[in-house]
Structure 1
Amino acid sequence: MTEDFYCDEVLSDKIQVRKVLETDNVLAYYHTKPFWPVHVVAIPKKHIPSLITLEESDNELLLELLRVIKKVATMVTEENGACRVITNLGDYQDSKHLHWHIVSGEPLKQLFNERLQ
């Protein structure tokens, strides 16, 4: 597998995901290994390595992606009272495909560690 989980696994249908919202160019789905109680990932269906590699020609796609993120963030906020919208860059970005996390709640790893104490 390359460094692009989204093209290699999700968009190629090698793994099934629970879709939250989908357009012709964007997919939002529940994370396959969530780090938060509510954890949705939004990705463009076109391969774009990261936010900082976007080209001028990607502007319409970026607007569509942001519209999807806004809709999902609104749904998550209405259901949970709050959410975070996060993207990672550089070494923080595990998969080299532009993606955004729409999350709510305390990190599950943190909750797990607190329970152990």
Structure 2
Amino acid sequence: MMTEDFYCDEVLSGKTLVNKVLETNNVLAYYHTRPFYPIHIVAIPKRHISSLITLEENDNELLLELFDVIKQVASKVTEEHGACRVMTNLGDYQDSKHLHWHIISGDPIK
């Protein structure tokens, strides 16, 4: 069962160890702890923001840093695997209420 904010409660607190892909002062990208795809990386801001639609104007600098990390990770995945998807979920589709982006490649794991 997912907590309300898995990323703050588990990942950023250090309770759940993750395999980091790229980290900056404000952003962390790591391999998903329970992947749904052969390549499944999650990128998150280190500061709590509940979702894409709750971003505020003062979040613009952080958002640019987050997208730079996503771009770097997506470029690497595309180079190594030929393609990737970048997506986020909102509303009922968003299990953890912390802004996060999935960088995925391959068919869903069954």
TM-score (norm 2): 0.97
- In structure 2, distance between residues paired with 1:41 and 1:15: 14
1:39 positional shift:
0.2
**Percent identity of the aligned residues?**
80
Report matched runs for 1:95-114 at 5 Å. Answer: 95-109=96-110
1:2 positional shift:
4.3
Runs of 4+ aligned residues of structure 1 deviating over 3 Å after TM superposition are none
- In structure 1, distance between residues paired with 2:30 and 2:3: 21
Alignment length, in residue pairs? 109
1:39 aligns with 2:19: no
What is the aligned partner in structure 2 of residue 62 from structure 1? Answer: 63
DSSP 3-state at the match of 2:64? helix
Unpaired runs of 5+ in structure 1? 110-117
The alignment's C-alpha RMSD in Å is 0.9
Which of the two has greater helix per residue? 1
What is the aligned partner in structure 2 of residue 21 from structure 1? Answer: 22
Larger Rg: 1
Report matched runs for 1:7-18 at 5 Å. Answer: 7-18=8-19
